Every structure is written in structure tokens, then in C-alpha cells.
Copies of this chain bind each other. A is one copy, B any other.
Amino acid sequence: MQTDHSDVRAAMREVNRIFEEEVCAGGRFAALERVYTRDAIILPPGQQSVSGIEGIIGFWADTCRSLKVRSCSLRPYEVAVAGDTAYEVANGEVGTENGPVPLKYVVIWKKEGGSWKWHRDIWNLNS
């Protein structure tokens, strides 16, 4: 077993890239099936939580369209892995037609079917 979990970290970076490039920049919301677990829960600010991949895909499709999201930058500054679970603490920024939106978030990752995915996802805005 690698104690630095460099393989896990590389897999996590690739999943984050899917969210940044395929989802936020590309608008390909079906790619979220490779980002979130089937029974993921997101906890968005300003509303109730959303459970399950179908609802999550709908949330991001609606949100990206209504906010005119054009890009996203995820900047994790802490990653800890324990067994089939990991957590990530991060800053981020969403680029919209009305300007950048700085935010921060925590994602609980889970290994599902051999792939590391976002299992619990909560964020808020910095202002």
C-alpha cells in the first residue's frame, strides 16, 4: 500500500478536471455520472440538499444555465485518505458572464466500483 496515496490523488485530480472542463466549461452534464456517486448528496447554499445523481445533474444543469457559468477552477489545499473514503478541503472560483464567484468547499470522496467519486459536497460563497 502506498502511504502517500499518490495514486488516489492522481485519480482525484482527474475527476476534478472532469468537473472543471467537461461540466462547467463544456456544459456536458451527463459527465457528472463520472464525478458523483449514484447516491451522492449535495448541500448547496440557499436551498435544501439534493440526493442522487439524477437530481444532481438537474441541479447543475439549471445552475450553470441560470448563472451563465463559463468556467470553474478547483483548488484543493488539503486531501486526506482513509480506506475507501477521503476528504478534500478547497477554495474555488466559478467564472460567470457576470464575473468570478469565489467560493470554498468540502467534498467527501468515496470509492465506488473502483473509481473515486464525490459522495458528499457542500460549499458556500466568500461574500
Residues on A lying within 8 angstroms of B by beta carbon are: 41, 43-49, 78, 80, 82-83, 85, 87, 89, 104-106, 108, 120, 122-127
By a CB distance below 8 angstroms, the chain B residues around A49 are: 104
Q: CB-nearest residue of chain B relative to A80? A: B85
Q: CB-nearest residue of chain B relative to A107? A: B106
**Copies of the chain in the assembly:** 2
22 contacts between A and B (CB under 8 A): A43-B89, A43-B124, A45-B45, A46-B125, A46-B126, A78-B120, A80-B85, A82-B83, A82-B85, A85-B87, A87-B87, A87-B108, A87-B120, A89-B108, A104-B122, A106-B106, A106-B108, A106-B120, A122-B122, A122-B123, A123-B124, A124-B124
Q: Let me know if A126 and B89 touch, CB within 8 A.
A: no
Q: Let me know if B45 and A106 touch, CB within 8 A.
A: no
